[in-house]
Amino acid sequence: MARVLALVVAAILLLPALPPASLVSAQADCVTLEDFKKSRVGEFPVDWKARKDSGRQVYKVAEEGGVRFLRAMSRGIGIQAGRETKNWDVAARPMLAWSWRPRQFPKGADERTSKNDSPLAVYMVVQHSRVSGPKAVKYIWSERVPAGTHLTSNNGLTQVRVLRTGPASGNGWTEERVNVLEDYRKYFGDKGTPKPDGIAVLTDADDTRSSAAGDYANFRACAGSAKS
């Protein structure tokens, strides 16, 4: 799976609630990686690439209350979409921040098993090898795998951290801020500072042969440390 992300990056979200203003306002310690403002509602986002052409039907820009975000609706397929972030200095801004909300969990999914589907997943991708593909740190929202669980895939090239478990609370939107530099170093045993090649998302339902849906908004690279 990580290998196909290289192709995505190199080639280049039925809830009525709105994201709180705090989730979409600019922050002094952050720079915007993607806010979807350049993209048209109902279309695949500008500057993004899908691993396969059919993925362009999974990811569409939506808008609520003037706020644009990425809406993902997968029916039996699992295709990543991503964009380059070549100017992201992860040493200066090691935090990846975004907001997301699950809308439909894939039926019977369990990321610890062969039914490895998630309504929401966000990647930080780092170039590694043209043969085996890139390295990636993947953050997921799972229906049943406990938050804090660490998983791996693609022969260890994709390191997975479960950030959230179960249904969303409140209005559905949750803001995340993770230290991707710390996670990269910890999971890969690498003391160096990687250069992120891009970010990617995956809402998939291929292993469960069901449907999954979720929304993504306001991707930022931030200074500081992770929230407690």
Would you list the domain boundaries of the chain?
A: 2-13+26-222
**What distance in Å separates the CA atoms of residue 177 and residue 12, rounded to the nearest whole number?**
25
3-state helix, strand, coil in the chain (%, to 5): 10, 40, 50
CA distance 127 to 150: 21
Among the CATH numbers 1.10.357.10, 3.40.50.150, 3.90.25.10, 2.60.120.260, which is that of 2-13+26-222?
2.60.120.260
Residue among 184, 178, 193, 181 nearest 227 (CA): 178
Please say if the pLDDT value at position 204 is more than 80: yes
Helix (H) or strand (E) holding 105: none
What is d(CA 28, CA 5) in angstroms, rounded to the nearest whole number? Answer: 30
More confident residue, 34 or 8: 34
Structure-token pair, residue 12:
């280049």
Q: pTM higher than 0.85 for the full model?
A: yes
Average pLDDT score over residue span 38-64: 96
What tens digit of pLDDT does each residue of 143-197 get?
999 999 999 998 999 999 999 999 988 778 999 999 999 999 999 999 999 999 9
Q: What's the whole-number mean pLDDT along residues 102-119?
A: 97
If pLDDT is split at 50, 70 and 90, which confidence band does 10 have?
Answer: very low
Check if the beta carbon of residue 214 is closer than 8 Å to that of residue 102: yes
**Dihedral (CA of 96, 160, 148, 108) sign:** positive
